[in-house]
Structure 1
Amino acid sequence: MASYGVAEAKNNFTHLLDRVEAGESITITRHGKPIAELKAMTPIRPKLTLEERQAKWAEFMARPIEVPPEGWSGVEVVRRMRDGDL
C-alpha cells in the first residue's frame, strides 16, 4: 500500500485517484501518521434485474386487497397482522 503526505497527495490527487480506480489502496499521512485511506468503492449493483423487479411488482399488484372488517380499531388490525390472523 502506497503512502503519501497530505501536501504530496493534494498535488497528485488526480494521479492517486487513477491508481485507486485501478485497485490500489493509498494511505494519506500527516506528520508520518496515517489519517486517511483511499480505496476503490465496491460497485453498487441492484440485487434484482429489471425483469425480476417487474415480475415482483406484477405479483404484488395481483394480490387481492384485504380490508379488515368494519369496526376494528387500528390496534386490532395491527395485532391480527402481527399474529398472522389477517
Structure 2
Amino acid sequence: MTSVGTFEAKTHLTQLLERVAKGERIIITNRGKPVAMLVPLEADNERDTARIGREMLAYRDRVKRGLGGAPFRDIAHEGHRY
C-alpha cells in the first residue's frame, strides 16, 4: 500500500484519485503518522456490506443456539434517556 505526505497529496490529488479509481489504496500521512486512507468507494462499500452480512448471520446463529444477544427491546432502547 502506498503512503504519501499531506503536501504531496494536496499537490497531486488528481493523480492520486485516478490511482484510487483503479483500485489502489493510498495512506495519507502527516509528519510521518497515518491520518487518512483513500480507498475506492465501491470496494469499501462491498467490503462493509459483506462484513455486516457475516455479522448478522453470526448473530442469528448465536441467538438460535441461545448463546447471544440482548433482547431486541434492550437494544432498541439503548442510549435512550427517560
Give the TM-score of the pair, scaled to structure 1: 0.49
Residues matched between the structures, number:
44
Alpha-carbon distance between aligned partners in 1 of 2:42 and 2:28, rounded to the nearest angstrom: 20
Q: Where in structure 2 are the equivalents of 1:62-77 lying within 5 Å?
A: none
Pair 1:26 & 2:26 matched: yes
Instruction: Tell me how far 1:42 sits from its aligned partner.
Output: 1.4
Structure 2 residue runs without a partner (length 5+)? 46-82
2:40 aligned partner: 40
Q: By percentage of residues, which structure has more helix? A: 2
Question: Could you say which structure has the larger radius of gyration?
Answer: 1
Alpha-carbon distance between aligned partners in 2 of 1:33 and 1:6, rounded to the nearest angstrom: 10
Paired residue type of 2:35: I
Alpha-carbon distance between aligned partners in 1 of 2:39 and 2:30, rounded to the nearest angstrom: 18
Paired residue type of 1:5: G
2:4 aligned partner: 4
Alpha-carbon distance between aligned partners in 2 of 1:30 and 1:12, rounded to the nearest angstrom: 15
Cα deviation 1:20-41 (Å, max 9, x = unaligned): 0000000000010000000001
Instruction: Tell me how far 1:8 sits from its aligned partner.
Output: 0.5
Alpha-carbon distance between aligned partners in 2 of 1:4 and 1:33, rounded to the nearest angstrom: 10
Aligned-residue CA RMSD (Å): 1.5
Secondary structure of residue in 2 paired with 1:23: coil
Alpha-carbon distance between aligned partners in 2 of 1:42 and 1:9, rounded to the nearest angstrom: 21
Question: Once superposed, which parts of structure 1, at least 4 consecutive aligned residues long, lie more than 4 Å away?
Answer: none
Alpha-carbon distance between aligned partners in 2 of 1:27 and 1:3, rounded to the nearest angstrom: 4
